[in-house]
């Protein structure tokens, strides 16, 4: 089984739980709810990306820097009226994986990269309900624009190339499950 298929299988139930708990319609109905969602995503990505330096991947994911979501979330929050002091004061998720090898880093990024696929379906909703676009207020949801599918394929190829042995696959799967659970708890509150 390829590494990307193994991660998809290992995180399937986590993904379903998150989708159930994440009331998308409520999060994207008004400006306050949308801003609160972006603020939580910013806090999650700030904590995670702090641990995921480009050198974490060696040469296995050379375009990691272009995949970072924090700059997009920062621009969106500024477009929604946040300032530098407000951004600096935002809480950060304390539950992101802490000690990671390159395979675990791939597992974490798998979760965030997967969210870019979901962003394609949420962007039209945000555009129609709130008026935000890929150029203003919804850069995070638009992420790679027309390049979402190629960027996902490239990530999958890099993941498969690095996590081609069982030990690395296991490390990536564990990190992906932990990341999904941390994201769900951070966005929706601790699971009942």
The boundaries of the domain holding residue 45 are 3-188
Report the candidate in 150, 169, 152, 151 with the shortest Cα–Cα distance to residue 161: 169
CA separation for the pair 108, 49 (Å, rounded): 10
Of the pLDDT bands very low, low, confident and very high (cuts 50, 70, 90), residue 55 is: confident
Query: Whose CA is closest to 30, among 131, 108, 122?
Result: 131
pLDDT above 70 (res 111): yes
For a pLDDT cut of 90, what percent of the chain falls above it?
79
- Determine what percent of the chain is predicted with pLDDT higher than 70: 98
> Cα separation of 9 and 168, whole Å?
16
Higher-confidence position of 147 and 192: 147
| Residue 58: band (very low, low, confident or very high) from pLDDT cuts 50, 70, 90 | confident
Among 66-75, 85-94, 139-148, 182-191, the range scoring the smallest mean pLDDT is 182-191
For 30-48, how does the pLDDT look when each residue is reduced to its tens digit (9 = 90+)? 999 999 999 999 999 999 9
Rounded mean pLDDT, 38-66: 92
Token pair for 1: 């089984």
CATH code of the domain covering residue 79: 1.20.910.10
Rounded to the nearest 10°, the torsion over CA 60, 121, 115, 149 is -10
Confidence label for 126 from pLDDT (cuts 50, 70 and 90): very high
149-166 pLDDT per residue, tens: 999 999 999 999 999 999
Are 110 and 178 contacting, i.e. CB atoms less than 8 angstroms apart? no
| DSSP per position, 35-60 | HHHHHHHHHHHHHHHHH--GGGGTTS
| Phi, psi angle pair for 7, to nearest 5° | -65, -40
pLDDT at 172 over 70: yes
Residue 188 has which token pair?
């929706």
The domain tally of the chain equals 1
What is the model's pLDDT at position 95? 93
Tokens at residue 149, please? 């599918």
Give the start-end residues of each E strand in 106-153. none
Q: Taking 90 as the threshold, does the pLDDT of residue 100 lie above it?
A: no
User: How many whole angstroms separate alpha carbon 28 and alpha carbon 192?
Assistant: 23
Of residues 24 and 154, more confidence is placed in 154
Q: Facing residues of 137 across strands?
A: 133
Residues 121, 12: Cα–Cα separation, whole Å: 19
């Amino acid at each position: 089984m390829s590494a990307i298929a193994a991660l998809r299988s290992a995180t399937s139930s986590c993904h379903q739980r998150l989708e159930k708990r994440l009331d998308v319609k409520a999060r994207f109905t008004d400006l306050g709810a949308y801003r609160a969602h972006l603020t939580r995503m910013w806090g999650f990505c700030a904590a995670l990306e702090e641990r995921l330096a480009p050198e974490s991947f060696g040469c296995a994911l050379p375009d990691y820097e272009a995949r970072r979501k924090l700059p997009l979330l920062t621009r969106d929050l500024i477009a929604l009226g946040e300032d530098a002091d407000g951004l600096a004061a935002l809480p950060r998720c304390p539950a992101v994986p802490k000690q990671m090898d390159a395979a675990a880093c791939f597992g974490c990024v798998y979760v965030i990269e997967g969210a870019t696929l979901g962003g394609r379906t949420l962007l039209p909703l945000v555009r129609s309900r709130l008026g935000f676009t890929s150029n203003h207020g919804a850069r995070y949801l638009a992420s790679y624009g027309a390049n979402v599918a190629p960027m996902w394929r490239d990530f999958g190829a890099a993941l498969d190339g690095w996590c081609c042995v069982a030990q690395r696959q296991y490390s990536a799967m564990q990190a992906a499950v932990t990341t999904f659970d941390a994201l769900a708890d951070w966005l929706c509150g601790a699971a009942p």
